[in-house]
């Protein structure tokens, strides 16, 4: 089976071909998702909440990400694998390079980091070393305390302008993909349309190039408050493989997310 590369993902954007991504944390689920045709898997620091039972992503360590990246890669050789750098693991260029090396050597194709302007020099350095970097703006879970919880971002004009500026600056610095989380649908549409790189949304409406969800949300096994943007695909399916196929189909056809699952 052909390995998914960043070139494939760029072509999907160019050809307006929507794509689905999902989180995974072990080999069994990564294999199942890959077999159903999920092209991109994220080893997210969401594992702090979904796997470890914390109330936020902040306790996750680089060792945790390494461990789960290796496990997920063992489940699929061809899927494009994206891994988070966790909280306080990329404070400066030297630290970012050190920890990126660990994650890439564990099997990731690309690393994802949260934040805006302060990341510019770090992104430039990583990119100069031929490291694929995915940005993440909007609701950034590692800023949980600073943002006073998990709230929609970009509702005010000044915040909208800041997010647009950050998106352009990050692309100019060298990111090859961008995640937009919990922002208004029309803002996400504007950013996606004006960037040349693929944009993946989560709680950002239907106009992004791709969609990503936490696997527990897709399967309806989320513990605690269920995000507005999360849809339980298993409730409409006979089994897990069918639920994943349904998720992929609804993303590709633009059925998901509809207004119910958008801001």
Q: What is the pLDDT of residue 50?
A: 96
Residue 180 lies in a domain: yes
The residue that leads in pLDDT, 147 or 242, is 242
Residue 83 lies in a domain: yes
Question: Rounded mean pLDDT of 116-121?
Answer: 96
Residue 131 lies in a domain: yes
Q: How confident is the model at residue 153 (pLDDT cuts 50, 70, 90)?
A: confident
Q: What is the pLDDT of residue 168?
A: 98
Residue 1 lies in a domain: no
For the chain, the domain total comes to 1
Positions marked active-site: 181
Q: What's this model's pTM, rounded to 2 decimal places?
A: 0.96
Residue 177 β-bridge partners = 134
Check which CATH number belongs to the domain holding 117 and give it: 3.20.20.60
Residue 73 lies in a domain: yes
CA-closest candidate to residue 206, choices 153, 258, 129: 258
Residue 29 lies in a domain: yes
The residue range of the domain holding 65 is 6-261
Residue 172 lies in a domain: yes
pLDDT 10s digits, 29-61: 999 999 999 999 999 999 999 999 999 999 999
The per-residue pLDDT of the chain, averaged, comes to 95
Q: What is the pLDDT of residue 68?
A: 98
Q: How confident is the model at residue 140 (pLDDT cuts 50, 70, 90)?
A: confident
Q: What is the pLDDT of residue 185?
A: 97
pLDDT at 147 over 60: no
Residue 237 lies in a domain: yes
């Amino acid at each position: 089976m052909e390995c998914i590369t960043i070139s494939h993902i760029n072509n999907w954007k160019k050809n307006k071909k929507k794509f689905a991504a999902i989180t995974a944390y072990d080999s069994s689920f990564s294999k199942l998702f890959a077999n159903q045709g999920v092209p991109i898997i994220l080893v997210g620091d969401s594992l702090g909440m979904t796997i470890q039972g914390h109330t936020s992503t902040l306790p996750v360590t680089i060792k945790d990400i390494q461990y789960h990246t290796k496990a997920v890669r063992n489940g699929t050789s061809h899927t494009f694998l994206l891994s988070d750098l966790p909280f306080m693991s990329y404070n400066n260029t030297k630290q970012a390079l050190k920890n990126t090396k660990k994650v890439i050597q564990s099997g990731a194709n690309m690393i994802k980091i949260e934040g805006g302007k302060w990341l510019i020099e770090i992104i430039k350095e990583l990119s100069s070393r031929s490291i694929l970097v995915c940005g993440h703006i909007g609701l950034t879970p590692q800023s949980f305390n600073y943002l006073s919880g998990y709230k929609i971002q970009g509702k005010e004009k000044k915040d909208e302008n800041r997010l647009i500026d950050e998106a352009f600056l990050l692309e100019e610095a060298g990111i090859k993909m961008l995640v937009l989380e919990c922002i208004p649908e029309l803002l996400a549409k504007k950013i996606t349309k004006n960037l040349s790189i693929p944009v993946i949304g989560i709680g950002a409406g239907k106009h992004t190039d791709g969609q990503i969800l936490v696997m527990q949300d897709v399967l309806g096994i989320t513990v605690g408050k269920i995000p507005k943007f999360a849809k339980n695909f298993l409730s409409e399916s006979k089994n897990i493989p069918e639920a994943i196929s349904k998720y992929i189909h609804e993303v590709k056809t633009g059925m998901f997310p509809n207004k119910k699952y958008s801001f």
